Copies of this chain bind each other. A is one copy, B any other.
Amino acid sequence: MFIIAMTLLFSVQVSKDHPRYKSLVIREMMSERVREGIVSQTGLIAHGRGEAFDYLLGEVTTPPALAAERAATACLLEAGRPVISVNGNTAALSAKDIVLLSKATGAKIEVNLFHRTEERADLVCTFMEAAGAQHVLGRNPDALLSGITSDRAKCSKEGIFSADVVLVPLEDGDRTEALVKAGKKVIVVDLNPLSRSARAATITVVDEVTRAIPNMLAMVPKLSHERERRSILAGFDNSQNRKASLDLICARLRAIGSEGKG
């Protein structure tokens, strides 16, 4: 949070009058993280895709997103070996919140990158440690997730490989599918309710990651009873929930389309 605040103070020259001020500030921060090597250039493109879908959602946590976040939190708390998988974009956008959620739920943090180099994996691990993480996995992967051929298959035995629940914010379809095939419950945070990740996941949170993770964190104390958690999970229908997000996007498309200059 400190690093982000510093970035806001010193590297951004965006007029506060601009109708998309917050989004422009985050854009500049993401560019800064690219210069530092945390975010990849194609990670910036992925961020842009997310921006477009967030725009269609009205840049708010919708009621279905909130319900999915509640189920996701219950699922993490019910897990025996929960892991939060962190890539460059997640680290850049939510390092501090991920660390807090990890501590609150007992989930391990493992860095897994789409564009992996040893140097970048180390950079992102160090970035997470600077945000307060104490035991970050991902520097020395010693296992392979089957079903994907790229470097993303590399993982840690004590982390993702043996996890029963994996929270993978901002994940691609291949890896989400591979994690599900490996028998894990997979929670994704994905602004596109139609993506392969969103469709393959056990729980799909259609929300922006900087809103989703703090929401989940705030829910932890309210989910201390096992009966409550199990009741939430039993009542949650991911398919219905995802379609509810889709309906909201359609409604908003039509609403914006009929206002303004025509």
**Which stretch, A23-31, A79-87, A91-99, touches the partner chain B?**
A23-31
A120 within 8 A of B: no
- Closest residue of B by beta carbon distance from A195: B55
Tally of this chain's copies? 2
- Which residues from chain B contact A199 at a C-beta distance below 8 Å? 260-262
A239 within 8 A of B: yes
A52 within 8 A of B: yes
Q: Determine if A41 and B34 form an interchain contact, defined as CB atoms under 8 angstroms apart.
A: yes
Query: Which bracket fits the contact residues of A?
Result: 35 or more
- Shortest distance between the CB of A12 and any CB in chain B (Å): 11
**Complex alpha-carbon distance, A48 and B51, angstroms:** 8
Interface string of A18-43 (1 = CB under 8 A from B): 01000000011011001000000110
- Which residues from chain B contact A243 at a C-beta distance below 8 Å? 257
**Which stretch, A59-67, A129-137, A246-254, touches the partner chain B?**
A246-254
**Complex alpha-carbon distance, A85 and B169, angstroms:** 38
- Shortest distance between the CB of A239 and any CB in chain B (Å): 4
Q: Which of A88-122 contact B (CB under 8 A)?
A: none
Q: Determine if B194 and A253 form an interchain contact, defined as CB atoms under 8 angstroms apart.
A: yes
**Complex alpha-carbon distance, A45 and B42, angstroms:** 9
Q: Determine if B52 and A28 form an interchain contact, defined as CB atoms under 8 angstroms apart.
A: no
14 contacts between A and B (CB under 8 A): A30-B45, A34-B41, A41-B41, A42-B44, A44-B48, A45-B51, A48-B48, A48-B52, A49-B49, A52-B52, A55-B194, A239-B262, A250-B253, A253-B253
